[in-house]
Amino acid sequence: MDEPLFGCTVLDFVLQLPGLPLLLGPLLLPFLPKLGRQIGMVLLPLVSGAHLAWLASGADAEPVRRTIFGHLELVPTRLDDLSMVWGIIFHVAALLAAVYSLHTVEVRKQVAKQWEHAGGLVYAGAAIGAVFAGDLITLFVYWELTAFASVFLIWGKDEPGIERPPAVIFRTGMRYLIIQVGSGVILLAGILLRQMDTSIADPLYFGPLFSGDLASAPLWVWLIFLAFGIKAAFPLLHSWLQDAYTQGTHTGTVFLSTFTTKMAIYALARGFAGTEALIYIGVVMTLFPIPFAVLENDLRKTLAYSLNNQLGFMCVGIGIGTTLALNGAALHAFAHILYKSLLFMSMGAVLYRAKSCKVTDLGALHKSMKWTARFCLVGALSIAGFPLFSGFVSKSLTISAVAEEHLIWIYFGLMLASAGVMEHSGIKIPSYGFYGKDRGMRVKPAPLNMQIAMGLTAAACIFMGLTPGLFYEHIAPYPLEYHSYTVAHVVDQMLLLCFAALAFLVLYRHNVFPKYERAISLDSEVVYRKLLPWATSGIERVGGRVWRGMLDAGTGLFFGIVKVFYDWTGPKGMFGRSWTSGNIAGWATIMLAFYLAFVFFWR
Amino acid sequence: MTDRKPPTTPEPHQEPSPKPYAKKQLGSLGPVDLWLRRGSYLCVFLVVVKIAFLLFSDAWGHAHFSFEKWPGFFEALGFLGFALLVVIGRLMGPWVRRPEDYYDPELAEASPHSGAESDG
């Protein structure tokens, strides 16, 4: 073939891929000595960031289209303002998570640990690739790669003493993989159906895919929406998130919490901005995890529910689809990645030192982990949306967008959810994680690298809260003129949060809170972890019985008939008494029959 | 002669706080309890600030919904909304709670503290 396979030289093609150092570099990590691996883990996100800056400096206004294998037109690199928001924050989060997990770099013995680090960084690279993908096929490839790379973060080996039985971890990873890869397969089915639709001009290009009424949408819209929805943890499709993020290693969950769901939020923002259904899905998503988070004993699972609730805010913004709302969704994803990483980091530190992050085990850890507790407080104040912290400046964009559209019930829902965030993340996480009842537990402070990572993340949260204008101007994907620190915003938000805190105090005094027990809560995962196995075993049980019954009845009937004949004509039967005369009668009958036939046919 | 006193039992330690709940609550929430109690003064301050602004200043600006300017709206929403979600959680508890080894039988043996333990 004269035409090159990739539409250009292979080297050109590969060098243009964003996140390339994170995609290929980590594969060398397991073969390096300890110090080399530590340096590599910090360096790779930095190199990738520099690579992205290099790509952005040389980028044209129109992304380059490459024809692969002679006919498939791909856009592997599209750098525009919307994807840049996610690109930047994914790099920052990858760097922070890498610094956070430096202490787990062991000498060569632990194979699982080595591939865990490589997996975490490749996972970050794949997510970065996905947000810069300009066409659906490239998106699909990265979509699946995130699933395969991130499962190592669940299968990784954790510190001894942390309760993670290998069989449980293996099954959790398999469930995660099935759901994540399943989402990719559904995405591919949607892409193929879209390509078959001849009315679409550029079927593979990943621009706005659909906005309008989903009820009358063609099948491919539903499939792609469902694929995005699985990874964005829509209500009822969400339980993989709580399942996997609770079972990840103490460093792995920090990676996990950042990329998959926010990549899906990006995909929704790109493809489904203005789809009204997203508003309602988003509101349900902000509200339903809260009672679960209130009940939950495991603090990392509480954070996973709270992550789900925050994704709801972004979905509402995307569903509204105005410039303000989309800016709100993007900036909220930006801020959310920082404070959610911070909270997962602090809980990871607790898990690492105290070997558990369950309410029923913890207490008064602030006496031994002073700085970790303070960083956790910063994360809690950020997620609750207190003024001067990052959650406030990003969440108020979405809420203002809802108010501008006069969606009164949605507004109520989001306000209610904000009060709920105050409970499970604002108060519960720090107070039960660090300040709770003293059970005499004294541990060492978190390792230095963890504290550095948490300190940097906390500083970023406060910086964003103090200088929102900088982020509105440079990070927001669309032009944005907004002031978050007006008297009305600040006082109203503070009123909401302070009275929610007051409610906590009152309810706590009157013992209204559910008692924490060593227990789990049933969630939609019960469908595939109990109901389906029960149903299939039930089908096997009932079906087996029916089949056996039919078989028994059939053979019983057959042998019954045989028995009747036997009883009448067998040795002891009535006709058996006269076998000899019976024989003669039989032969006579046969002869007569032949005679009759002869007469009838040859007459 | 040394004067011999009968051995006295040490004075039983007096509870410093007469409030029946104070010690228990402080024990189970630590400094958070104190912060929240101090924070409740902030509630009063904020209510006053909002009313003062609405009465004497026009810096409040435009509201998209009329109820945003009602004094007491955000207070009630925060307090009652929070209480509602907690009560839903509490009512849901008996229905959805299952033992830790409900899905994974391996977690039963691995658990260091078996048996339910409540907090507070």
Question: pLDDT per residue over A441-450, tens digit each?
Answer: 888 999 999 9
Question: pLDDT per residue over A303-318, tens digit each?
Answer: 999 999 999 999 999 9
Instruction: Kindly determine whether residue A404 and residue B64, on different chains, have CB atoms separated by under 8 Å.
Output: yes
Structure tokens of A413?
A: 């829902």
Contact indicator for A182, A227 with CB cutoff of 8 Å: no
Q: Identify the residue among B44, B65, B74, B114 best suited for mutation to test binding to A, counting A beta carbons within 10 A and taking the highest.
A: B74
Other beta carbons within 10 Å of A239: 21
| Band (A61; pLDDT cuts 50, 70, 90) | low
Closest-CA residue to A203 (of A318, A72, A82, A80): A72
What would the mean pLDDT of B6-16 be, rounded to a whole number?
A: 55
Please, what sign has the CA dihedral across residues A41, A127, A357, A164?
negative
d(CA B44, CA A408): 27
Chain B partners within 8 Å of A365 (Cβ) = none
Question: pLDDT per residue over A452-470, tens digit each?
Answer: 999 999 999 999 999 999 9
A1-11 in b/e form (b: 16+ CB < 10 A) is eeeeebbeeee
Instruction: Kindly determine whether residue B86 and residue A507, on different chains, have CB atoms separated by under 8 Å.
Output: yes
Which uninterrupted H or E stretch holds A68?
A: strand A66-68
Q: What are phi and psi of A550, to 5 degrees?
A: -65, -40
Q: Is A95 helix (H, G, I), strand (E, B) or coil?
A: helix
To the nearest 10°, the Cα dihedral for A412, A418, A424, A425?
Answer: 170
Other beta carbons within 10 Å of A583: 10
Restricting to A residues 286-315, those with a Cβ less than 8 Å away from any Cβ of B are 287, 290-295
Locate tokens 């530590």: which residue? A38
Structure tokens of A403?
A: 């108010």
A163 touches chain B (CB under 8 A): yes
Closest-CA residue to A406 (of B62, B116, B25, B118): B62
Structure tokens of A117?
A: 């680090």
Which uninterrupted H or E stretch holds B97?
A: strand B97-99
DSSP summary character for residue A427: I
Restricting to A residues 397-416, those with a Cβ less than 8 Å away from any Cβ of B are 400, 403-404, 406, 408, 411-412, 415-416
Structure tokens of A216?
A: 């009358």
| Band (B118; pLDDT cuts 50, 70, 90) | very low
Share of chain A above pLDDT 90, in %: 61
Tell me what the pLDDT averaged over chain A comes to. 90
Which uninterrupted H or E stretch holds A74?
A: strand A72-74
Lowest mean per-residue pLDDT among A277-286, A416-425, A430-439: A430-439
d(CA A396, CA A493): 9
Other beta carbons within 10 Å of A45: 27
ipTM of the complex: 0.82
d(CA A219, CA A200): 14
What would the mean pLDDT of A466-494 be, rounded to a whole number?
A: 91
| Band (A104; pLDDT cuts 50, 70, 90) | confident
The 3-state DSSP composition of chain B as helix, strand, coil percent (nearest 5) reads 55, 0, 40
Q: Identify the residue among A172, A175, A283, A499 best suited for mutation to test binding to B, counting B beta carbons within 10 A and taking the highest.
A: A499
Q: What are phi and psi of B68, to 5 degrees?
A: -60, -25
pLDDT of residue A110: 62
Q: Is A78 helix (H, G, I), strand (E, B) or coil?
A: coil
Structure tokens of A543?
A: 């079906």
DSSP summary character for residue A298: B
Q: Give me the amino acid identity at A460.
A: A
Instruction: Kindly determine whether residue A406 and residue B65, on different chains, have CB atoms separated by under 8 Å.
Output: yes
d(CA A513, CA A521): 16
Among B37, B103, B110, select the one facing A529 at the smallest CB separation: B103
Residue A567 pLDDT > 90, yes or no?
no
Strands A66-68 and A72-74: antiparallel
The CA-based diameter of chain B, rounded to the nearest angstrom, is 91
